[in-house]
Structure 1
Amino acid sequence: MAGGRLWSAAHPRLADACLAALLVLLVLPTLVIRNPEFPGSPDGWSLAVFALAAAALVFRREQPLRVWAFATVAGVAGVLQSDGSIVLAATTCVALYTVGSRLPLRSVVLASVVSGVAYTLASVVAEGDWLDDRGVPGLQTFAWSAAASAVGVAVRSHRATLAAAEARALQAELTREDEAERRVSDERLRIARELHDVVAHHISIVNVQAGVARHLLDADPDQARAALDLVRDASKTVLSEMSTVVGLLRTAGEEAPTDPTPGMARVGELADSIRQAGLDLTWTVSGELAGLPAIHDLTAYRVVQETLTNALRYGTGAATMVVDSRPEGVSIEVRNEVGRNGRHRSGGGHGLIGMRERVDAVRGRLAAGPEPDGAYRVSVLIPRDPA
């Protein structure tokens, strides 16, 4: 049956021509029996009009309503000529099936009623009486018309259901691919932010301390040695944190790093390292920092790290930081003098972009920019709500 449907869809005209020929062959014996004057020969007029109605079925897919009207007129004419042979309504039933499968329900109901009434009246006229031994002549055509139309409507509904299911499956497939691409893109951005935050902070320390060591190498070897120790510690830290980030890209079977994810619990260590790098940092913490969701805790830590790194790189060497833990979240404010040269970048660079992306991802708020007094201020609120 599936092969037949595929062949019919590929050759619609040929399939309908075969259907028309089959109907003629099925009706031909009935027309022979109903010709009493010439036993064994068909009723020529009835056969002619039925053949014309059957031939019109070849165009039923393109013009369903017109084919139905022609088949009904031809069928009624045949019934009148053949003394009420209702079998001539076969082409009309096929046309009604096509109408039901392709046209709106209102047109289907109207066509069914018109067909039933037309064939019933034609049968009454052909029989010469409103009643015969079985009741009203041709009344059964109503049932045939309704059945043919109902089958057509059912087929149309089934096709619509299949088409909708296929469309949903296709949409789901496309959505799945888009979702996979989006997740890959989001993960790529997240890893890029992690690498930037880790590398930028510690390489800034390495750069500053390497300059200090070079400057004091001859004048104060002990101080230069201390600066080089900071360079070594910073490089070890950046390697360790990069190993943690890159560990996210490991394949199955490789050993993943076990270092804990940085959070606000380590903000003291971060402040000490930035002080050792040369930033005169004054900072205070109020409230309890524990209780933040993991991603919010990491976001707050990275914001502090990036902000202090920028203060070290672009400021005049001094900064203040206030961390305030509130019921709605953790507030972080960092101010540093940028001097008259205004080297602090307010909009460019990937650091501030990365901070905004991190804060937006946790539904937080970030404000950054120069103040009228010449300081650069970064204010962030990281909410506690994981939503």
Structure 2
Amino acid sequence: MGDDRSLGWRDALLPLLMLVVAVLEAVAYGPPRLPLVLAVEALACALLVPRRRWPLVVAPASILLLLGLSRVGPAVDDLAAPVLVMVLASFSLGRWLLDLRGLVALVPCYLLTVLGVERADGAPADVTDVVFVAALLIPPYVFGRVMRTLAERSARLAEQAELLSRLQATVRDDAIAAERARIARELHDVLAHSISAMVVQASAGEELVRRDPDRAATAMAQVAETGRRALAETGRLLSLVRDDHDELGLDPDPGLDRLEELLDQFRRSGLEVDADVEGPVLELPAGIDLSAYRIVQEALTNALKYSSDRRVRLRVRRSVRSLVIEAENRGRPGPSTGSGLGLVGMTERVSVFGGRIEHEFTRDGRFRLEVVLPVETADV
């Protein structure tokens, strides 16, 4: 974690402004040897341009150079511009050095400044001179150290935020991959069932082709219909499978015919479910039926985890062209503590069938989910 020490025009901006102030002040003050005074102040300002790259060299050199003003003209405390330059030099020792070498370099500068004030006045230095020089050099150094600490902390937080972002992306990608693998296994079972049905229907048609041509034609039509469905499921399966190391699931694939069983399961877990089912939801293509069940299952799981009153309103309705699943529950106050992976899984399922998913928090603090799965394209 290092600072960018390359020089730019911003490094010269502040010393240049200080030089302008110094020139205006010196011209107005009119000290003897004005050109020499201006030259000393200009050199002191120029030394601070590379203060970020070589602070241990240029900052003390700038302070010591200004202390020489008392030999050619006004004392350090007679003008304001040299004080500003010394403040910037002290700040640079604290801001741009990693360790305490800046403090070590500041101590002799402090002592020499106190002696310089004494020689300019022609009287011994007293407590006020010591306090004045300390107030001139120490606070800027401390402020520089604080600025460096804050900058380092900010850089660490930025690195941690970037690392966390990468970790979240990795977790999200893993969740998507796991959900795709799960969907692929389930669609594999649907596809295997369709092919088995085709084999049985084709065998029956073969036996009936001579004895009962009409029934044989009906069997062949069923084979063609099942084949079209299997072809659609095959396309979805191939779009999901990313490797050949998946293990096949052995449990029967659930569908909306087991919806009541699913609702009872969540009710026993303490979730109050207000369910409303409209239309022939039991007459769905196998892939849509399975995904609809999983989406309802995930929606109820989210409600059980995050609903503030353990209540959810579920609506499943079937139209000619689509199946719509809606779930609504009251969210918990404050920021969400969920990972969002459940929504990732639902989004993956919906995208397989070219559907649509929307979710939002309403103004009254309720979480609303709507999933639309096209039904007519599932049979093509």
Q: TM-score, normalised on structure 2?
A: 0.46
Structure ranking higher on relative contact order (CA contacts 8 Å, 6+ apart): 2
Q: TM-score, normalised on structure 1?
A: 0.45
**Larger Rg over CA atoms:** 1
